[in-house]
């Protein structure tokens, strides 16, 4: 009886907590919907007026002449993101494997806070570091003035490391220890056990970290603005300057009006679609894995 009375007393409180969390979830959904409505309501009319082909594939961005082609900025964003992936993903994943399975405890006490500190450094500080360290090195080593696509790729590769390392390490630690020990017991080396058993088992979490890192690379603005050179042309080499979609918005939104302002908002729509495309690809890549597991279980049951 006492337990029943206690449960009856707690039921209103549990219901209130349930409603509270539901409201919080609704706030997140409403925020996403409001952002989408703002972007599309203000950006699509400009795309319609300029023309979809002229806007997406035009190679000249001259607001004074009503020319709003963002193709060079799209190419610049893609190049910078791909470069960041090539630099940041291998380093990040390998560092996560080291920290999760190999790193001595004494070293881990210093390495883990250092990675977390990297995640807390403001973007402008990263940009200043790249401007005074990375850019002079590239200027003295390669042709050009150092403000280039290569500088942006290196900088973004460094900036996405904390995200990839943190998520990938958690995913690797979530893999049951029996996987690793079983591989060792079967005669596999430590390295083979890690890269052939543990890492594939953590593939879903590692992929999530990579996607989050890609999202940060695409959306980064101020740091890239300081080192990319901001040339509104398709770069002929990695040593040439480039302008991304985000830097295009931040450099001109302060004084843009009318169609110019709406075209910059349309830049944001394109960025939004990029992120949506990346998340969709990630979802599609994960889905067959679940299907294979399901089919495998059916085969076992049969």
Q: Are residues 215 and 101 in the same domain?
A: yes
pLDDT value, residue 45 = 87
pLDDT value, residue 295 = 42
pLDDT value, residue 136 = 92
pLDDT value, residue 300 = 32
pLDDT value, residue 3 = 54
The range of the structural domain enclosing residue 45 comes to: 2-57
Provide the CATH number for the domain around residue 231: 1.10.3720.10
DSSP annotation string for 108-176: HHHHHHHHHHHHHS-HHHHHHHIIIIIHHHHHHHSSS-S-SHHHHHHHHHHHTHHHHHHHHHHHHHHS-
Reported as a single tens digit per residue, the pLDDT across 275-289 is 888 878 777 766 644
Q: Are residues 41 and 122 in the same domain?
A: no
Question: Does residue 62 sit within a domain?
Answer: no
Q: How many domains does the chain have?
A: 2
Reported as a single tens digit per residue, the pLDDT across 182-224 is 888 888 888 888 888 888 888 888 888 888 888 888 888 888 8
What's the whole-model pTM score? 0.82
Q: Are residues 35 and 182 in the same domain?
A: no
Low-confidence residues in the chain, pLDDT < 70:
1-10, 285-302
Within 10 angstroms of residue 117's Cβ, the number of other Cβ atoms is: 10
Q: Are residues 151 and 11 in the same domain?
A: no
Question: Does residue 299 sit within a domain?
Answer: no
Q: Which two tokens stand for residue 14?
A: 């549990």
Q: Are residues 76 and 33 in the same domain?
A: no
């Amino acid at each position: 009886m006492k337990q029943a009375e206690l449960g009856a007393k707690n039921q209103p409180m549990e219901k209130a907590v349930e409603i509270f969390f539901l409201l919080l979830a609704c706030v997140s959904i409403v925020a996403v919907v409001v952002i989408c409505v703002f972007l599309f309501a203000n950006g699509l009319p400009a795309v319609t007026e300029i023309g979809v082909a002229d806007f997406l594939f035009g190679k000249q961005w001259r607001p004074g002449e009503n020319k709003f082609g963002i193709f060079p900025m799209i190419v610049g964003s893609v190049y910078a993101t791909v470069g960041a992936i090539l630099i940041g993903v291998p380093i990040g994943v390998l560092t996560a494997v080291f920290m999760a399975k190999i790193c001595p405890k004494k070293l881990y006490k210093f390495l883990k806070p250092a990675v977390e500190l990297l995640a807390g450094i403001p973007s402008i500080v990263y940009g200043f570091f790249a401007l005074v360290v990375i850019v002079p090195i590239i200027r003295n080593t390669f042709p050009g003035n150092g403000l280039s696509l290569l500088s942006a790729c290196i900088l973004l590769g460094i900036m996405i490391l904390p995200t990839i390392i943190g998520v990938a390490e958690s995913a690797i630690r979530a893999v049951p220890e029996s996987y690793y020990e079983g591989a060792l017991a079967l005669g596999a080396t430590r390295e083979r056990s890690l890269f052939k058993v543990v890492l594939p088992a953590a593939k879903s979490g590692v992929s999530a970290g990579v996607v989050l890192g890609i999202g940060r690379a695409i959306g980064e603005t101020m740091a890239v603005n300081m080192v990319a050179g901001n040339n509104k042309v398709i770069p002929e080499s990695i040593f040439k300057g480039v302008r991304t979609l985000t830097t295009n918005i931040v450099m001109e939104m302060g004084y843009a009006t009318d169609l110019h302002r709406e075209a910059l908002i349309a830049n944001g729509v394109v960025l939004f679609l990029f992120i949506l495309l990346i998340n969709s690809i990630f979802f599609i890549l994960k889905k067959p894995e679940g299907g294979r597991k399901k089919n495998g279980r059916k085969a076992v049951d049969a």
